[in-house]
């Protein structure tokens, strides 16, 4: 059991006015030692907050009077203060097992913790879920949650999880739905395992047993060069098209019977199948945007200005490992920068700093200033390039180009922008012209660090870290709104 550490303070906040400082350790709040940032938030929402603090080995008590629900103004270092509940499944498609050797230890943490599901949208299989967990979820209203289904057939699900409890753990999904908890499901489709007839049977099972689900994401497995599972392979074009056909057969059925389409195929399937993305209305508000469902359509709407508020993805697959607690459970970060600003001198420690409200960030990580009118290279992965290419073609800016980074670090079929690493980006940027502006999406960074442990200031060209949404990109490329 660790203790909450104050990592940042909001200037002028009740905590700052009361004398709390960065580095203080909160040993108790109103006489209780919180287990996680969820319990912490409930405690600090009280109008009177009594903090027991360890400051450099000296104990002190600080009493803070404020309005009930008023933010305390403290950002704590992590989201969980006790141990993360680790995963005891051994899925052959698990990406954690496919990481290259030598990566930092935190990235190898397999979690199956419902709290991280609530905070970050991580998917839990519920194989370690308990009655006590259900009681807490219901009593504290920890909704929505995200559940990995993969198959509704008990034997197939157990085989895929390589865990005998996988056959019965979906009973907790039924219990969550019975108590009114909003749940989003996910099916990772593995060719030859749970596709074809098995996928059809899973959607039948969803309709029969879990019709209250808010949505179900159908996503392809990722296979890196470091996988030790010979039966795990990427989809063929024909298999990707078959998955889309299955989803699009079921959507009207769910719409008729449940009032919404419920099931959605990941953007990656449409890219693999070389098919156009569905119309934006089909996504019904993009409930699974973070899972790669409708992200391309969202980006288009943001870039064109058809939506007012941008939705920037979190820091990729490993957000819960290295990032700060989820939005709504921390004080606003400091150092947000207006999206229309040009590259400026800054220190690399500012990379990725942004406000909870989603303000854009455009900062250079090199002391060498780059002219704001210099040609622009947008750094992206192969899938991102397929989405951005048509958008930029219509934007009609010949001085803006894509800098496509093939993922040699992970290899295999890994082509998403969020898994780009500094080693690969540096290799590609070294061949690009000096003096150009290079825009790097923040989704490939976590706390200013790439997954391979490198940082943007190690790249051979200065870069500007920008939010991974269309509205922010348009603001940077066309700050005056005058482009064709």
- The per-residue pLDDT for 344 is 35
Q: Which residues pair with 275 in a beta bridge?
A: none
- The per-residue pLDDT for 214 is 97
Pick out the chain residues at pLDDT < 50. Answer: 321-324, 330-368, 483-484
* Separation CA 429–CA 456 (nearest Å): 11
Residue 84, domain member (yes or no): no
* Separation CA 180–CA 462 (nearest Å): 49
Assign 376 to helix, strand or coil: strand
Residue 318, domain member (yes or no): no
Quickly count: other Cβ atoms within 10 Å of residue 56's Cβ: 7
CB-CB contact of 109 with 86 (8 Å): yes
- Same domain flag for 110 and 63: no
- Same domain flag for 381 and 246: no
- Same domain flag for 123 and 49: no
Residue 396, domain member (yes or no): yes
* Separation CA 89–CA 86 (nearest Å): 9
The per-residue pLDDT for range 405-422, each reduced to its tens digit, is: 999 999 999 999 999 999
- The per-residue pLDDT for 133 is 97
- The per-residue pLDDT for 333 is 35
Residue 209 sits in a domain whose CATH number is 3.20.20
- The per-residue pLDDT for 354 is 29
* Separation CA 67–CA 49 (nearest Å): 10
Assign 162 to helix, strand or coil: coil
Provide the edge-to-edge strand list for the sheet that holds 183-189: 145-148, 183-189, 215-220, 263-265
- Same domain flag for 51 and 157: no
- Same domain flag for 240 and 372: no
In the numeric block, the tokens 């990725």 are attached to 352
- The per-residue pLDDT for 310 is 64
- Same domain flag for 272 and 143: yes
Residue 264, domain member (yes or no): yes
- Same domain flag for 186 and 264: yes
- The per-residue pLDDT for 328 is 56
- The per-residue pLDDT for 346 is 32
**Torsions phi, psi of 204, nearest 5?**
-60, -45
- Same domain flag for 271 and 141: yes
Residue 38, domain member (yes or no): yes
- The per-residue pLDDT for 313 is 62
* Separation CA 224–CA 177 (nearest Å): 35
Residue 305, domain member (yes or no): no
- The per-residue pLDDT for 355 is 28
Residue 222, domain member (yes or no): yes
* Separation CA 142–CA 408 (nearest Å): 39
- Same domain flag for 392 and 274: no
- Same domain flag for 150 and 35: no
- Same domain flag for 194 and 64: no
Residue 88, domain member (yes or no): no
Quickly count: other Cβ atoms within 10 Å of residue 371's Cβ: 11
- Same domain flag for 72 and 114: no
Domain boundary among 27, 48, 76: 76
- Total number of domains constituting the chain: 3
Mode of pairing for the β-strands spanning 145-148 and 183-189 = parallel
What is the domain extent for residue 66? 6-76
Domain boundary among 240, 268, 293: 293
3-state secondary structure 103-139: CCHHHHCCECCHHHHHHHCCCECCCCCCHHHHHHHHH
């Amino acid at each position: 059991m660790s203790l909450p550490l104050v990592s940042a303070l909001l200037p002028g906040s009740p905590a700052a006015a009361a004398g709390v400082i960065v580095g203080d350790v909160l040993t108790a709040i109103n006489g209780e030692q919180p287990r996680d940032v969820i319990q912490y938030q409930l405690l600090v929402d009280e109008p009177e907050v009594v903090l027991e603090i360890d400051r450099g080995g000296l104990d002190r008590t600080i009493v803070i009077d404020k309005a009930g629900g008023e933010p305390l103004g403290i950002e704590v270092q992590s989201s969980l203060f006790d141990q993360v509940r680790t995963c005891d499944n051994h899925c052959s498609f698990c990406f954690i097992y496919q990481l290259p050797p030598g990566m930092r230890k935190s990235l190898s943490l397999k979690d199956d913790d419902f709290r991280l599901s609530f905070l970050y949208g991580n998917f839990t299989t519920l194989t370690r879920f308990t009655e006590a967990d259900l009681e807490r979820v219901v009593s504290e209203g920890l909704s929505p949650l995200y559940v990995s289904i993969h198959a509704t057939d008990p034997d197939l699900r157990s085989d895929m999880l390589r865990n005998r409890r996988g056959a019965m753990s979906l009973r907790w999904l039924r219990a969550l739905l019975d108590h009114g908890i909003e749940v989003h499901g996910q099916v990772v489709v593995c060719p030859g395992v749970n596709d074809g007839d098995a996928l059809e049977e899973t959607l039948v099972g969803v309709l029969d047993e879990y019709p209250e689900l808010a949505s179900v994401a159908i996503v392809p497995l990722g296979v890196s060069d470091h996988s030790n599972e010979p039966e795990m392979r990427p989809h063929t074009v024909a298999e990707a098209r078959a998955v889309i056909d299955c989803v699009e057969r079921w959507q009207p059925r769910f719409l008729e019977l449940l009032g919404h389409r419920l099931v959605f195929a990941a953007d990656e399937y449409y890219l693999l199948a070389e098919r156009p993305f569905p119309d934006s209305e089909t996504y019904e508000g993009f409930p699974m945007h973070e899972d790669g469902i409708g992200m391309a359509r969202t980006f288009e709407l943001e870039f064109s200005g058809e939506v007012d508020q941008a939705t920037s993805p979190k820091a990729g697959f490993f957000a819960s490992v290295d990032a700060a607690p989820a939005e709504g459970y921390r004080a606003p970060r400091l150092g947000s920068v207006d999206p229309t600003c040009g590259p400026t001198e800054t220190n690399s420690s500012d990379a990725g700093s942004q406000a909870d409200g989603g303000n854009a960030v455009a900062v250079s990580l090199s002391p060498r200033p780059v002219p704001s009118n210099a040609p622009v290279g947008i750094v992206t992965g192969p899938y991102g390039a397929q989405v951005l290419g048509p958008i930029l073609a219509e934007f009609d800016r010949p001085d803006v180009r894509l800098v496509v980074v093939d993922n040699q670090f992970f290899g295999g079929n890994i082509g998403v922008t969020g898994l780009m690493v500094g080693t690969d980006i540096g290799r590609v940027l070294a061949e690009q012209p000096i003096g150009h502006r290079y825009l790097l999406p923040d989704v490939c960074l976590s706390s200013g660090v790439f997954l391979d442990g490198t940082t943007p200031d190690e790249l051979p060209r200065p870069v500007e870290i920008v939010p991974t949404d269309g509205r922010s990109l348009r603001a940077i490329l066309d700050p005056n709104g005058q482009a064709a």
